[in-house]
Amino acid sequence: MQGSYSDLGSLDSGPNNYDQKTYGVHAAGRLGNLPVEINVGISKFNADASGPGYASDDPLDLDGTGFSIGAKYQVWRNEDGTGMASIGLGYDKNLYDNLYAYIVASKAFTNRHIVGHLGLRYDHYKINGVSSSQPSVFVGAEVPLDKKGRLALVGELQSKNAADTGENDSFGGQMPYSLSLRMASENGFSASVGIQRQGALSKFLDDSSGLFFQLGKSF
């Protein structure tokens, strides 16, 4: 189980101000002994605008509560468990109507159990009637900061996940990324705090990076 908060960015254009935030609760679990993980969630998208340049406080019609659902299947794992590969797909109604699919390989390195990730991803977004389809490449790493792995630095960098379109050149954006500190306890509680950029619409926003926070419990 996990609760989360994300600041997706803001726009400050003289007397006009605009910002986006999301709040959500998600759950994930395996299907028995199968190498399949299912995740479901519900989240609230909050878009606030003020100033004479906006006819409403939600000019992109993004406000609302929506669901998400996804599945991940582990297609390969080596004998010592230090390497694996998975495929996944899902849909997030509340994050720009996002339909996605990916394949990712992970490998643990050195006796400190540093884990690296490399993958391919496809994202389809639809914002205010305008859609975008874009493949991307992403890399990531989890670096333990103590011997027991209770503290870890987690980062990820992705190529552009949303394309500019002829209908709306501000749809696309800069490269998504995230960098966070993750804390985990022996009784299954975990928390992460960091900064991230989602990618889509980041050209539209003056500041497309924002803080995020996650609090979880494993059972």
Q: What is the mean pLDDT of residues 80-105?
A: 95
177 — pLDDT class (breaks 50, 70, 90): very high
Q: What is the pLDDT of residue 193?
A: 98
Question: Distance (Å, rounded) from C-alpha 119 to C-alpha 52?
Answer: 44
What is the value of pTM for the model shown?
0.92
Q: Which of 55, 40, 48 is nearest to 20 (CA)?
A: 48
Q: Are 191 and 218 in contact (CB under 8 A)?
A: no
Alpha carbon 8 to chain centroid, angstroms: 10
175 — pLDDT class (breaks 50, 70, 90): very high
More confident residue, 2 or 50: 2
Question: Distance (Å, rounded) from C-alpha 175 to C-alpha 59?
Answer: 24
Cα–Cα–Cα angle for 154, 138, 85, nearest 5°? 85
Q: What is the pLDDT of residue 148?
A: 83
Q: What is the pLDDT of residue 106?
A: 97
Model confidence at 204: pLDDT above 80: no
Average pLDDT of the chain to the nearest whole number: 91
Question: Distance (Å, rounded) from C-alpha 128 to C-alpha 74?
Answer: 35
Map out the domains of the chain with their CATH numbers. 2-217 (2.40.160.40)
